[in-house]
A and B are shown apart, each in its own frame.
Chain A
């Protein structure tokens, strides 16, 4: 079943504000991925993290692989209306433990 707890479930912010969301688990993960899903489309990979403590940026997006390996964080700076969508975290526990696990998503709404 679902092993990733993603929060918050939804956010309503004003354009220009910064956004933070996170994903936690009781299990250790070797890889953390962050996806964005625009309305009516499939999830698109934003950032991939492969080492504990790793901090990676993609434009205004910054994600971190928690040092405990049980969590990850995504920050969006200076939000704009096109940031609207659902953000998913996903984690991989290692080669013997197979598949990717997904969080339930954070719905982001940005008001102009």
Chain B
């Protein structure tokens, strides 16, 4: 049971470099999400996708772009990485529409450090 798979698990970047974080789910869920987790801040929503071909901004979208490649995959791109983007990034998915109350299921995260 893979659930939500994120790659890579760890990454170190230099300021100004670009990178794409990958996420895939095998639960046939409609909605997918990207969060960042910083100490003392909990989980903050970056972007979400209600269905294939649609994406919307969350709480903290600046500096990020996303692509819902198909129903399974949702990627997060940092075009020009900044030290403030050092964080743990989580992808999640949920059954049904994004506005439904279905629980979200999380991947194991990508730990990103930007020097």
The chain A residues found within 8 Å of chain B, CB to CB, are 1-2, 30-31, 33, 35, 40-45, 48, 50, 88, 90, 92, 94-100, 102-105
> Nearest chain A CB to B32's CB is how many angstroms away?
13
Could you tell me if B101 and A30 are in contact, using CB atoms closer than 8 angstroms? Answer: yes
The range of chain B's interface size is: 20 to 34
Q: Which residues of chain A come closer than 8 Å to B104, judged between CB atoms?
A: 45, 90, 100
B residues 99-113 near A (Cβ < 8 Å) are: 99-101, 103-109
Q: Which residues of chain B come closer than 8 Å to A100, judged between CB atoms?
A: 104
The chain B residues found within 8 Å of chain A, CB to CB, are 4, 40-43, 45, 48, 58-59, 90, 92, 98-101, 103-109
Nearest chain-A residue to B9 (Cβ)?
A40
Could you tell me if B42 and A104 are in contact, using CB atoms closer than 8 angstroms? Answer: yes
Once the chains are docked, how many angstroms separate the CA of A12 from the CA of B12?
33
Count of A-B contacts judged by CB separation below 8 Å: 51
Could you tell me if A45 and B58 are in contact, using CB atoms closer than 8 angstroms? Answer: no
> Nearest chain B CB to A47's CB is how many angstroms away?
10
Could you tell me if B109 and A98 are in contact, using CB atoms closer than 8 angstroms? Answer: no
Could you tell me if B45 and A42 are in contact, using CB atoms closer than 8 angstroms? Answer: no
Contact among B40, B45, B90, B101 for A43, CB-based, below 8 A: B90
